[in-house]
């Protein structure tokens, strides 16, 4: 049994490759929920949905979120009411949020809702939210006027397009959040724990912050392998550089290694970063070189193979 820690698009693409080389039912994915937010009263779980839609083969091929062939009639109509529509919810995607919100309102946990949604999409693998308790990433940014203000993740990332300079990041609720049922057991029993090429600060960071996760991974460190989302000093997609730098983490595979050093014995770095392998290993993390730019599912599958072999 393999367990993968996952954020959004990078993780989804990696997992799409992974399930080409191992049976889907052998994979448990623990997904970040600290980006979850409420829009128009609906509980939106961006990372759970990205992984679900991608494993179902229904993801939008380019944009990194949402469904292929999606329409936006509801959001366009919402503009008439002056309601904030900067977070674009597609019409078919809305069904997911309506369904999840209704289940939660009726007393289901996020785990239970996720189980139903992934089953409906025929995902095949088990997706676990990192926690059924609310955890919310809050980003303190510098304002144009020179002060600071705290934004929710989607406000900073989507509404503000990662523009405002980051001062600090915290995971509201993480101290009290319990891991979702099955998370610690899965981490404990996994043959291998894969840390997907996701944002180490705000995608993997919240998972590690949930009670017991970091401790469990430390114990399993030899069986934990991460894939660096940073290639040649820049993230493949997303705002990792805008978060790592200000938080004193070098925007490189070395910075990723430093972030994961206590929980992760092996880091897969890109072939282009091979020269930095000694610096990674100086942190006590074994460096393995591979092609990490997942241009298509076949490359992603090869990367997944390399990653598993790295700790075989």
Q: Does 68 bind a copy of itself (CB under 8 A)?
A: no
Tell me which stretch binds a copy of itself (CB under 8 A): 18-26, 76-84, 181-189, 199-207: 76-84
- Candidates 21, 26, 101, 188; binder of a copy of itself (CB under 8 A) is 101
Nearer to a copy of itself, 24 or 92 (CB): 92
Q: Does 108 bind a copy of itself (CB under 8 A)?
A: no
Tokens standing for 180?
């979702």
Tell me how far apart the alpha carbons of residues 242 and 250 are, in angstroms, rounded to a whole number: 11
Nearer to a copy of itself, 61 or 81 (CB): 81
Tell me which stretch binds a copy of itself (CB under 8 A): 39-47, 143-151, 216-224, 243-251: 39-47
Strand order in the sheet with 136-142: 148-152, 136-142, 166-172
Nearer to a copy of itself, 83 or 234 (CB): 83
Tell me how far apart the alpha carbons of residues 117 and 22 are, in angstroms, rounded to a whole number: 22
Write out the binding residues for a copy of itself, residues 42-61 only, by CB under 8 A: 42
CB of 67 to a copy of itself, least distance (A): 8
Q: Are 81 and 45 in contact (CB under 8 A)?
A: no
CB of 90 to a copy of itself, least distance (A): 8
- Candidates 12, 34, 75, 187; binder of a copy of itself (CB under 8 A) is 75
Helix axis angle for 46-55 and 110-120, nearest 10°, is: 20
Q: Does 91 bind a copy of itself (CB under 8 A)?
A: yes
Alpha helices in the chain (DSSP H): 9-21, 46-55, 73-79, 91-105, 110-120, 153-154, 183-189, 205-209, 213-219, 240-244, 253-260, 277-282, 297-310
Tell me how far apart the alpha carbons of residues 54 and 196 are, in angstroms, rounded to a whole number: 14
Tell me how far apart the alpha carbons of residues 166 and 185 are, in angstroms, rounded to a whole number: 35
Tell me how far apart the alpha carbons of residues 187 and 189 are, in angstroms, rounded to a whole number: 6
Burial of 23 (0-12, 13-18, 19+ CB in 10 A): exposed
CB of 81 to a copy of itself, least distance (A): 5
- Candidates 26, 87, 88, 99; binder of a copy of itself (CB under 8 A) is 99
Nearer to a copy of itself, 120 or 168 (CB): 120
Paired residues of 140 in beta bridges: 150, 168
Tell me which stretch binds a copy of itself (CB under 8 A): 87-95, 219-227, 230-238, 258-266: 87-95
Tell me which stretch binds a copy of itself (CB under 8 A): 12-20, 80-88, 129-137, 190-198: 80-88
Spell out, one character per residue from 247 to 276, where the chain touches a copy of itself: x when CB under 8 A holds, - when not: ------------------------------
Q: Which residues bind a copy of itself (CB under 8 A)?
A: 40-42, 71, 73-78, 80-83, 90-96, 98-99, 101-102, 105, 116-117, 120-121
């Amino acid at each position: 049994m393999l367990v993968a820690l996952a954020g959004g698009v990078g993780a989804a693409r990696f997992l799409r490759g992974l399930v080409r080389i191992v049976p889907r039912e052998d994979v448990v994915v623990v997904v970040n929920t600290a980006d979850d937010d409420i829009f128009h009263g609906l509980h939106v779980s961006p990372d759970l949905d990205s992984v679900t839609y991608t494993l179902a083969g229904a993801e939008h091929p380019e944009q990194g979120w949402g469904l292929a062939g999606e329409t936006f009639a509801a959001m366009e109509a919402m503009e008439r009411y002056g309601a904030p529509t900067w977070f674009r919810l597609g019409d078919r995607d809305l069904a997911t949020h309506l369904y999840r919100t209704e289940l939660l309102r009726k007393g289901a946990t996020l785990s239970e809702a996720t189980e139903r949604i992934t089953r409906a999409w025929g995902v095949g693998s088990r997706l676990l939210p990192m926690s059924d308790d609310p955890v919310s990433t809050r980003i303190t940014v510098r304002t144009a006027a020179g002060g600071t203000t705290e934004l929710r993740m989607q406000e900073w990332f989507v509404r503000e397009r990662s523009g405002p300079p980051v001062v600090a990041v915290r995971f509201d609720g993480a101290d009290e959040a319990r891991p979702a049922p099955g998370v610690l057991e899965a981490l404990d029993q996994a043959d291998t724990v894969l840390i997907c090429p996701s944002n180490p600060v705000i995608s993997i960071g919240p998972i590690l912050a949930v009670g017991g996760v970091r401790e469990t991974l430390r114990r399993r460190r030899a069986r934990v392998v991460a894939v660096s989302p940073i290639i040649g000093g820049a993230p493949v997609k997303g705002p990792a550089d805008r978060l790592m730098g200000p938080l004193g983490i070098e925007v490189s595979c070395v910075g990723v290694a430093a972030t994961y050093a206590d929980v992760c014995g092996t880091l897969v770095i890109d072939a282009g970063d091979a020269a930095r392998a000694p610096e990674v290993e100086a942190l006590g993390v074994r460096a393995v070189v591979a092609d990490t730019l997942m241009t298509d599912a076949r490359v992603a599958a090869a990367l997944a193979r390399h990653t598993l072999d790295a700790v075989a």
